[in-house]
Amino acid sequence: MNKVKFRNMIALFLIVFTVPDLIIHILFFSIRADVLETFPMVGEAISEGFNVVFALAIIIAICNGFEKDKPIYHLITGGVLFYISLLHDFLDEFFVLTVPSIAFEVFAFPLALIFATIGIYKSQQYERSLYLDNERLKLQYKEMSITDNLTCLYNTRYFYDTVPTEIETMLHENRPLSLLILDIDDFKLVNDTYGHLEGDRLIEYIGKQIKTEFSSYQCYRYGGEEFIVVLEDVDLDRVYEMADSFRMKFASDIFYIDGESYQKTISVGLAELTDQDDTKTLLEKADKAMYVAKTTGKNKVCY
């Protein structure tokens, strides 16, 4: 049993203890024993004992309740004060206690209510905080599972999870959809010349540019130096213009490493969805178009 469960059990026990004690006081008449005639120091001893217990309860509340701001300590302190108050009241039926000791009973009960109320309120806040943290973690883990770490674009897994349904919807509603495959020309040369870290930097850069340029559409890193953009409700001519504009912007970028500079280009394959297509055939058409761009001079958009 861990500490949290143990403390929760203690708090629950101390609070639940008050219920039968209240029932006893309601159902039965007070019983007083004249014990002081035989043991005159009993009342004083009980009074001093309660003083010590009450002081310890306050110390616990200050040290662990407010300073550490843990709801469980407020609940325990409230339960302890309830226990002190009601047990004191119960023993008072048997022993004649002094006025200072009785005063603790008077103060302990409202203090118990205060600490218990604070504890319950903070417990609810704490649970709410845990719930929100848990939901945030779920979103983070989900985002991590569907995105590429290097580019922060969606990954291949998410592509195959979402695009088939998207295609079915667009076909059913007779709406246009196009798919772009963008591939960095001669990417291997970057790795061979400048190293894989520079290659990663280039991929990260183009990923950010794709995300910015096509911010209204779903963008994916399909693998290696290949990227996919799925564009809904855009006619083919407009898609071609957007792709060619991005191609030209990227070709004009200059990259620097170790005092040297270099430029890169991309080849783009474009395919438009027809009623004969599914995810596989649409990808094949875009991939063939990209292959044509590669084999006919690179740095161009083909469809």
Residues with catalytic function: 225
Contact 79, 110 (CB under 8 A): no
H helix or E strand, kind and range, residue 255 = strand 255-257
Whole-Å CA distances, 66 to 4, 14, 71, 125, 287: 18, 20, 9, 15, 64
Contact 178, 242 (CB under 8 A): no
Q: How is residue 44 written in tokens?
A: 């004083």
Q: How is residue 40 written in tokens?
A: 């005159």
- DSSP letter string over 86-107? HHHHHHTTTS---HHHHHHHHH
Q: Are strands 266-272 and 301-302 parallel, antiparallel or unpaired?
A: parallel
d(C-alpha 241, C-alpha 236), whole Å:
9
- DSSP letter string over 135-160? HHHHHHHHHHHHB-TTT-SB-HHHHH
**DSSP three-state, residue 297:** coil
